[in-house]
Amino acid sequence: MNAVMPSNAPLGLVSLQLAFNGQKSNPSPVRIVNSSFGTLGANSAGFGPSVVLNFVAQDQQPVNSLTVSASPGQVVTLYGTGLGPGLNPDNVAPLAGNLLTPVEIWVGGQAVAPSDILYSGRSPCCSGLDQLVFRIPPKAPLGCYVPVLIRTDKAVLSNATTVAIQAPGVNTCADSQNPFTSLYQSAGKVGAILLSRLQFLAQVDLDQPLSFSVDYGFASFSEENGSQFSYNSRLAFPPPGSCTVYTGAQDMLADATLPGTLPSVRFLDAGATLNTSGTGGSRSILRYGNPGDYGGLFGTDLAGLSLPSLFLNPGSFQISGTGGADVGSLQATVNVAPILKFAGLAGIAAVNRSQDLTLTWEAPDASAQLILIAGSNYDVPTDSSSAFFCTALPSDRSLTVPSWILSALPASRTKRHQSHGRLLMGTASFGPAVTNVTGVKAVQTISISAKGQSVLFR
């Protein structure tokens, strides 16, 4: 059931009941706030490409998409809901006019100047539907998935959606730092292979800190529809120098499935296993669940477990498979870079969400093409989590995660084992696309060498 929250609803903890044919449901507690903006996604799920119109002329406002990009300095209209009380009763056509709710907008981490927020109020068409008309900041980064976030009342951060931004005159977007974008942007059958090593320091809720490393591999083969609003949260990186956020049920960095990661058409069967071999021997990436989904733990140095030893020492690895019903045999090479010291992580046991967090790194291996930074906090009692994800160029040597991004994460609870907070930094190296595999147009490889630790978010 969908309904418009009355503009005169009382704030705070209230009781909600539904009535049908003279009978009322059991009351349910609901917390009402003055505003909590939610941006509409083109997929109707609240993530990925936003519902945004690019303003060209009054009678020409095309929908922003991967093939219809906006440009820095262009005026756009973004749609959402939850901006706050309207200017008139909700059962009549909304009056045009800015609502009283203070609004802040960031595009790719760049703040929209208050003078460039041209309208923030109800859409004339519908009660409960809000629109923000603003000018894209002149320094907004270019890319296919530039994150857009809105904060109202200087307190409540919205969900993150994206817009496509390119230079004036360029319609189709491009991500020069992420080859997955062009691969998944057009319709067809594709593959992705990931090898990764993670060094992790568990230092929260333990009597003694515990350091360990794990190696793992993943692969996915799928058919995609090439929609102009396509989005895969595993592969759709924000532009370098910017951050995005995700929220959802369960623990996003453990057992939860990130939103928007399933194929838009279907999985493709590439065989029962994929073999990974290097100087230290070989390991298998096993198929699990869906026929084109593969993953597994290669090894660890964690004592007391009946698991293989570490395997992905820096160097070159060969991926091979005999093929399956949809995908033929394949051969691919993946280079794994050494893990940086990531001195910026040293000594961080708690993160103050009300302050910016600046992280630094050393000059990486020449094969590293992108710096990845992520943080998450899993709230055990509510079985929910929030995460942020940022990228940077290796040459940047530092990145600042703004406090308004950190505010998307829940605060860690004071009781032990009630929160699982993590902070991670890594390098990503992309291999050349493999284009000679029968049944798919290309297979893209990536390796990630990362370092992380458990933290508290205050």
Q: Is the pTM of this model over 0.75?
A: yes
Same domain, 219 and 242: yes
Pairing relation of β-strands 188-202 and 161-165? unpaired
User: Does the structure show a pLDDT above 90 at 221?
Assistant: yes
Segment 419-430 shows an average pLDDT of 96
Task: Please give the structure tokens belonging to residue 240.
Answer: 């370098």
Which residue, of 113, 136, 165, is where some domain finishes?
Answer: 165
Same domain, 188 and 66: no
Same domain, 308 and 453: yes
* Res. 414 pLDDT band, cuts 50 70 90: very high
pLDDT score at 255: 61
Segment 360-367 shows an average pLDDT of 86
Three-state DSSP class for residue 16? strand
Tens of pLDDT, residue by residue over 158-210, are 999 999 999 999 999 999 899 999 988 888 999 999 999 999 999 998 889 99
Same domain, 368 and 420: yes
Segment 27-31 shows an average pLDDT of 92
Same domain, 156 and 197: no
Same domain, 112 and 226: no
pLDDT score at 248: 87
Give DSSP secondary structure letters for 313-349.
Answer: -SEEEEEEE---SSS--EEEEEEEPPPP--GGGTT-S
Pairing relation of β-strands 442-457 and 188-202? parallel
Is residue 20 a part of any domain in this protein?
no
Give DSSP secondary structure letters for 244-285.
Answer: EEEEEES-TTTTPPPTT-S-SSEE----SEEEEEETTEEEEE
Q: How many domains does the chain have?
A: 2
Is residue 297 a part of any domain in this protein?
yes
List the CATH number of the domain containing 77. Answer: 2.60.40
What ranges in 42-132 are assigned the alpha helix state H? Answer: none
Task: Please give the structure tokens belonging to residue 403.
Answer: 């406090």
Three-state DSSP class for residue 148? strand
**Strand boundaries in 17-139, DSSP class E:** 19-20, 23-24, 28-32, 38-39, 52-54, 75-81, 103-107, 110-111, 117-122, 130-135
Same domain, 84 and 123: yes
Same domain, 436 and 302: yes
* Res. 452 pLDDT band, cuts 50 70 90: very high
- Phi, psi angles (nearest 5°) of residue 271: 110, 175
Is residue 143 a part of any domain in this protein?
yes
pLDDT score at 364: 79
β-bridge partners, 2: none
* Res. 256 pLDDT band, cuts 50 70 90: low
Task: Please give the structure tokens belonging to residue 200.
Answer: 């992790």
Nearest to 71 by CA among 60, 88, 55: 55
Neighbours of 354 (CB within 10 A): 10
Instruction: Look at 249-253, 350-354, 442-446 and tell me which has the smallest mean pLDDT.
Output: 249-253
Mean pLDDT for the chain?
93
β-bridge partners, 106: 111, 149
Same domain, 320 and 199: yes
Tens of pLDDT, residue by residue over 271-315, are 999 999 998 889 999 998 888 999 989 999 998 888 899 999 999
Query: Do 84 and 35 meet the contact criterion of CB atoms below 8 Å apart?
Result: yes
Domain of residue 297: give its range.
Answer: 179-457
Segment 409-423 shows an average pLDDT of 95
Q: Is the dihedral of CA 106, 350, 391, 180 positive or negative?
A: negative
pLDDT greater at residue 213 or residue 1: 213
Segment 447-453 shows an average pLDDT of 96
Tens of pLDDT, residue by residue over 65-117, are 999 999 999 999 999 999 999 999 888 889 989 999 999 999 999 999 999 99
* Res. 317 pLDDT band, cuts 50 70 90: very high
Is residue 29 a part of any domain in this protein?
no
DSSP character at residue 49: B
